[in-house]
Amino acid sequence: MRPLQPVSPSAKVALGISFFVLFFAVWAFATLGGYVSKTFLADPITMVRSGFDLLVNQGFGYDIGMTVWRVLGGFFIAAILAIPIGILMGAYKPIEAFLEPFVSFARYLPASAFIPLLILWAGIGEAQKLSVIFIGSFFQLILMIAVSVGNTRRDLVEAAYTLGAKDSGVVTRVLLPSASPELAETLRMVLGWAWTYVIVAELIGASNGIGHMITDSQALMATDQIIFGIIVIGLIGLITDIAFKTFNRWLFPWARLS
């Protein structure tokens, strides 16, 4: 094992699975062995049974679907608006100078702090939840996309101008192809952040969703259901992340994506 030395795909999968096995083994040992009270941390067997009951008898599948819809909806709206703005900021320095101070200011504002205002403006319906995800994703996307586009090698830009390219051609035929792999990775990372925002949005004024189930379970001290909800979020995120990585490698085979 050496710094930055890659591992084979099979070894990568085996190492990843082995961590989960070790994690659940330690969890089972601590809870089933009586070292941790089940009031504070349910054991894996109880968690699985409660999860099965939630899915089969309590309609938790619908809650999962609603949460996924909110994440994808809010993130899609943010991405559709942020991508062109980020590209313009990265390509044209006057636009970057005009927008970057506000974007840098806004991206440090916690999305959860806007929930009281969003409830006043949009109520407690879907618009409020989508707005929380939008606020949490939009400004992060703009700045990261602008940085990716702005980091394009200058020699490629100068070569394009030397060959007679116009400004629009430099953007569409040099900057975008060069930055596209990083843009795809930016979307993948920010989508993961969007999951944290949706759970916060569902903790207040929601009648369904994973966050709503977790809130109800907390009132009942049902740690088994809380843990199951958290694990479901992690599994969905892991599946989404793997799908994003696979698609990005297929779309940009020349790029070194992690």
Nearest partner of 129 among 214, 45, 72, 213, judged by Cα: 72
Q: d(Cα 236, Cα 195) in Å, to the nearest integer?
A: 10
Q: How many CB atoms lie within 10 A of CB 140?
A: 21
Domain positions in the chain are 44-251
Residue 205 DSSP class: S
Residue 202, classified by CB atoms within 10 Å of its CB into exposed (0-12), middle (13-18) or buried (19+), is buried
CATH pick for 44-251 out of 1.10.3860.10, 3.40.50.720, 1.10.3720.10, 3.30.70.3270: 1.10.3720.10
pLDDT in tens, the chain (258 residues): 678 677 787 888 888 899 999 999 999 999 888 888 878 888 899 999 999 999 999 889 999 999 999 999 999 999 999 999 999 999 999 999 999 999 999 989 888 888 888 888 888 788 888 999 999 999 999 999 999 998 888 888 878 878 787 877 788 888 888 888 889 889 999 998 888 888 888 877 778 889 889 888 888 888 999 999 999 999 998 898 888 888 888 888 766 655
Q: d(Cα 167, Cα 199) in Å, to the nearest integer?
A: 43
Q: d(Cα 195, Cα 176) in Å, to the nearest integer?
A: 27
- 123 neighbors 137 (Cβ within 8 angstroms): no
